[in-house]
Amino acid sequence: MSQTITLQNNQPPVAQLEALSIDRKIENIIKNNKDSAYVHSGSATRKDVPAGANPEGLKKLPPSTLKRFQKAGVDLSEGYPAVPDKSKIPVFLDEAFQIRNKEYPYIERALNADPEKKALLGAAKEVIHLTKKIGTEIVGLQLADLTDQQKDELALLVAERVVVFFRDQDLSPQKQLELGHYWGQVEVHAQVPRVPGLDGVTVIWQDYTTTNLTFKNNNFGNFDSKFAGLGTQNWHSDLVHEFQPAGITHLHNDAIPDVGGDTAWSSGYAAYDKLSPALQQFLDGKEAIYVSAHGYLDRDDPFSGPKKIERRHPIIRTHPATGWKALFVNRSMTKSIVGLEPPESEVILNYLFNVLEKNTDIQVRFNWKSSKPGYGTSALWDNRVSNHSTIWDHEGLEPRHGTRVTSLAEIPFFDPKSKSQREALG
């Protein structure tokens, strides 16, 4: 992918620019000129969307979302959403790589939970397991009212069932952020739009941020990762390029189409159990290279186009709470298996992607519709043991809007003594 960078008339005087190194000149052009090239590959926001709170976005905000924000006291006076200032977004790869590039303390809340989850499940009106392997719906509880004990038990339930759903939720974005902080360090993304005044509460509103999504192309990334970049329709797991990748992600949808707009998840536990013992043995202990969704410039070769942040993590990952092995790959952001030749890596990874994407018995598809008008629906899933994909069948003809908070977890590890889910459960 190439980029053209052109000096604009409103740049600093030529003499000042000449005194800068080439990388600083490029950075100056990109950060300080709104008309300059936008170098961030896969940006979550259209290039014509201005930085800061956007009055035009506020005009398009779904009524149910507006009502939720007004009730929560969110300041929408300047507009919506709040788009990060271009001048504050890292331009160069080395700078972006250093964001959260060191270990920080992480508490696995699920380890404090009662294995029987009596405080959580006992308070629910109904507990519905949607499939055998993945997906549970809790009826009759408000996430905003959970005690710490119930939050710990919910973390364990999410770890075991991969994704847990709550309909009919009266949940402010502030409370959603508070829950995220309880389960780990909340990720604040340098590029994506957010709720004004609430860093860490990401806006999920593709019909506003994306213009090139169509009925024909919205699933191209599921055929080959080189076609990815059109949205979250591609199977993926969040933030795998982080030093400590995502644990629990909490998406609360407050504007939901009457029909469609579903999301699907697949289980990394069950995917591992699908593999032959010989392939399991081969993959145990192997590492892969995981990349960021967004691209940045190489400071030493800035005209070569955007490059992705890369990290090494175990391809088979042990969950610290369940102790179960899970297949930790995704088509969108797993680049290669360490130690293999590129053709070997490609063949094996494509097979593993297919295991997660094509085995419907290890997947759940969820429709977000609430039973009470004006209420939203929440899904909480564990990125360490899952892939997910949005189903864009409503084609933007009805509003679909949500807010997302992601809690980062531990440094990924593989314990050779750990068991698969089927082994552990007999």
Reported as a single tens digit per residue, the pLDDT across 414-426 is 999 999 999 999 8
Q: How far is 405 from 251, CA to CA, in rounded Å?
A: 7
Which of the two residues, 423 and 207, has the higher pLDDT score? 423
Is 16 a residue whose pLDDT tops 60?
no
Tens of pLDDT, residue by residue over 317-351, are 999 999 999 999 999 899 999 999 999 999 999 99
pLDDT at 28: 65
Q: Is 174 helix (H, G, I), strand (E, B) or coil?
A: helix
Give residue 399's pLDDT band: very low, low, confident or very high (50, 70, 90): confident
Give the pLDDT of residue 383: 97
Task: Please check the confidence at residue 51 and state whether its pLDDT lies above 70.
Answer: no
CATH of segment(s) 109-425: 3.60.130.10
Residue 19, pLDDT > 70, answer: no
Give me the half-sphere count of Cα atoms (radius 13 Å) on the Cβ side of residue 272. Answer: 28
Q: List beta partners, residue 297.
A: 92
More confident residue, 99 or 220: 99
> What is the model's pLDDT at position 193?
87
Q: In the chain, what are the domain boundaries?
A: 109-425
Q: CA–CA separation, 193 vs 206, rounded Å?
A: 11
Taking only the tens place, the pLDDT of each residue in 138-149 is 999 999 999 999
Residues in contact with 276: Cβ distance below 8 Å, sequence separation at least 6, in sequence order: none
Residue 188 pLDDT > 70, yes or no?
yes
Three-class SS of 175-216: HHHHHHHHHCEECCCCCCCECCCCCCCEEECHHHHCCCCCCC
Which pLDDT belongs to residue 230? 56
Query: pLDDT value at position 302?
Result: 82
Q: Which of 100-109, 114-123, 191-200 has the lowest mean pLDDT?
A: 191-200
Whole-prediction pTM:
0.88
Top mean-pLDDT range of 24-33, 95-104, 204-213, 380-389: 380-389
Q: What value does the CA radius of gyration of the chain take, rounded to a whole number of Å?
A: 22
What pLDDT does residue 424 have? 96
d(CA 158, CA 146) in angstroms, rounded, equals 15
d(CA 276, CA 3): 44
* Mean pLDDT within 103-130: 97
| Distances in whole angstroms, Cα of residue 354 to Cα of each of 222, 233, 293 | 9, 15, 20
